[in-house]
Amino acid sequence: MEMEIQKAERLNIIGHLAASVAHEIRNPMTVVRGFMQIFDKETFIPDNKKVYIKLMIQELDRAEGIINDYLTLARPRLEKMERIAIKEQMDSVMEIISSFAMLHNIRIQHQMGQEDLHVKGIPEKLSQVLINLIKNAIEASPEGQIVHISAYRTEEKAVIEIKDQGIGLSQEEIKRIGTPFYTTKENGTGLGLMVCYQIIKSMNGKIEVFSEKNKGTQFIIKLPAVD
Ligand code: ADP
Ligand code: MG
């Protein structure tokens, strides 16, 4: 019994350490990203060089995404839930994801039905879910494709759909996604979907998946809507 408690305590400490290291690393990254964006707007840098700046921003975002995913898994959830406006949240997500989409030559079309759609949760965590799902959709899509995002309300649920016409998933693959470290990508972590499921569950919601091999995939997030 004593051993069990010590072990739990140790795991707790490791979780906290991981969280604070991740936090400390994110700060300098944010500073670097800010200067990169300034360079991206400079007129003395030719467009064919700005591609590299966009790549640097994208790689920073990728590192940040990985840190966030690990952080979500390491840190006990003690943060306060707040009211989140889906439309505003989606706008800030689009800002983060648009250069990634552009580099993959994918267009994102989003349709935000009701202006006043709200849910309860931690805004950064919901962003993380949306970013993970939209990134997956982009990565699964051949160049030139469109990723469709829509949000609407059905009775007491806020629904967000992310739909691609990419490589799709077989029934076998659908069973495996979201399990730790399952990835089919060369530099994937296989943590993204697991984190998504965990966050949405903590918000009392669920994620549904519909997919067909070589046709495309649709992820549907259903959360309790709040007024
Ligand atoms: P990662 O993106 O690091 O591989 P994820 O947990 O985000 O990890 O995704 C796990 C796997 O699920 C991916 O490697 C991919 O095989 C599959 N997957 C996720 N989203 C899609 C999608 N929209 N279309 C096709 N396959 C997908
Ligand atoms: Mg992913």
Report pLDDT digits (tens) over 175-193.
Answer: 999 999 999 999 899 999 9
Reported as a single tens digit per residue, the pLDDT across 112-152 is 876 789 999 999 999 999 999 999 999 999 999 999 999 99
Quickly state the pLDDT bin for 161 (edges 50, 70, 90).
very high
**Token pair for 24:** 């400390």
CA 149 to chain centre: 13
The whole-model pTM stands at 0.88
Q: What are the CA-CA distances from residue 96 to residues 40, 61, 92 (Å)?
A: 15, 8, 7
Report the DSSP beta bridge partners of residue 152: 159
**Token pair for 15:** 């979780």
User: Beta 107-112 vs 157-164: how paired, if at all?
Assistant: unpaired
Asked if residue 76 has pLDDT above 70, the reply is no
The mean per-residue pLDDT over the stretch 15-25 comes to 83
Of residues 75 and 170, the one with the higher pLDDT is 170
* Phi–psi pair at 217, nearest 5 degrees: -135, 145
C-alpha–C-alpha distance, residues 165 and 34, integer Å: 33
C-alpha–C-alpha distance, residues 141 and 137, integer Å: 6
Ligand 2 ion: residues within 5 Å (CB): 136, 192
Q: Is ligand 1 within 6 A of the CB of residue 175? A: no
Quickly state the pLDDT bin for 21 (edges 50, 70, 90).
confident
Give the pLDDT score at 5: 67
The mean per-residue pLDDT over the stretch 186-212 comes to 95
pLDDT-above-90 percentage for the chain: 71
Nearest bound ligand to the CA of residue 218:
1
Reported as a single tens digit per residue, the pLDDT across 22-71 is 888 989 999 999 999 999 999 999 999 999 998 999 899 999 999 988 88
Q: Is ligand 1 within 6 A of the CB of residue 179? A: no
